[in-house]
Structure 1
Amino acid sequence: MDQTAELSVREEAAFEEELVAALTDRTLHLIILATEQCNFRCAYCYEDFSVGRMGPETVQGIKRLLDRRLDGLRQLNVSWFGGEPLLARPIVEDISSHVVESLGRLPELPYLGDMTTNGYLLDVTTAERLAGLGVGSYQISLDGPQAVHDTTRVRADGGKSFQRIGENLLALRDSALPLRILLRIHLTPPSESTTVG
């Protein structure tokens, strides 16, 4: 067999292994949209904010799904997304509490809770409460330096957001909380709407 054919066979085997791993029922990764609502009105956002918070029947459905699936799992991940998930913090806490309580009987089951948030409401008190519920990883985005960020990531009331996000990030960094924060920086070519003068 020549090297090209051998490489092709190895690539195909690797693909099949990844496909089987992705389709296993031993891992459950839920991405939960607790609310479409957001406290920002970013210049590039595609949401229309027509959908509010997740209803109680959906919350109960998620809990029932978890109750049915937990016993057979080797890994559980719950990712919070939105809108801004911290605007629906009671829902995040309710479902996360259910997960933590359920894991009390399955202490060997690895669990990771994470959240994509704009960081505006993620102060130390909130992060501490969520860390106790297994949410310990966050993805937060900034749109470059403050002068640019505050023109594209405007709050729903028209106010600026960079300073408070920065204060929250520094406070979290200085805390003893066991958190992981992935900070994404969005860079957009200058245009008339983002030119700082």
Structure 2
Amino acid sequence: MKKEIDRYLSTDFNLIEIIQPDENKISDVIKLLLEPDGVHGQGVLFLKIFLKKLEGFTNKDIFIDFSKVEIEREKTTSLLKDKENRRIDLLIKSDSYVIGIENKPWAGEQENQLEDYFNYLKELSGSKEFLLIYLHGFGEKPKSISEKTVEKNSDKFLFTSYRKFLIPWLNDCYKECESQKVRFFLKDFKEWILKNFRDIEEGN
């Protein structure tokens, strides 16, 4: 029966599973989806959904001019003296908001890594609002930033996981996406995450 079904539906076929992306490739995929002029052809849709999810997590309104958005990968922290070699995975810049994303599916952090990223975003944003997202595959809390910094600037951080943030985002992207080809990709990406990542509190 399954062979007959798979002749038409290929239920076990998942392009993401075949590729087995590493940390950099996962970040590349997230950037690709967030880009307003990306090859997905959906304009600002995925970015709008992403920001709406952020509003739900942070209880803050995020207003930006989508025509002035820049999304960068591996952005160097060049504004920090002696920290020029740091590279934040994703940076979303607009006229009124700066969002940094540190993506950690598996690997641990370097010493003071998030502390440096926080200071970089603070310097870069100037009078703009900013937010540092620590996106961990299994929901671990960061160890490279002091509790004092987090407590004093709690509204500048979001520590979350693939299942808690990426899955709801991808679900909504899938629902709103008008391209069947991209919908297949979103579904594969979501199912790959569900298969390979589970929050620590959920157990194995």
**Greater RCO, CA 8 A, separation 6+:** 1
Structure with greater proportional helix content: 2
Task: Report the TM-score, using the length of structure 1 for normalisation.
Answer: 0.34
Greater C-alpha radius of gyration? 1
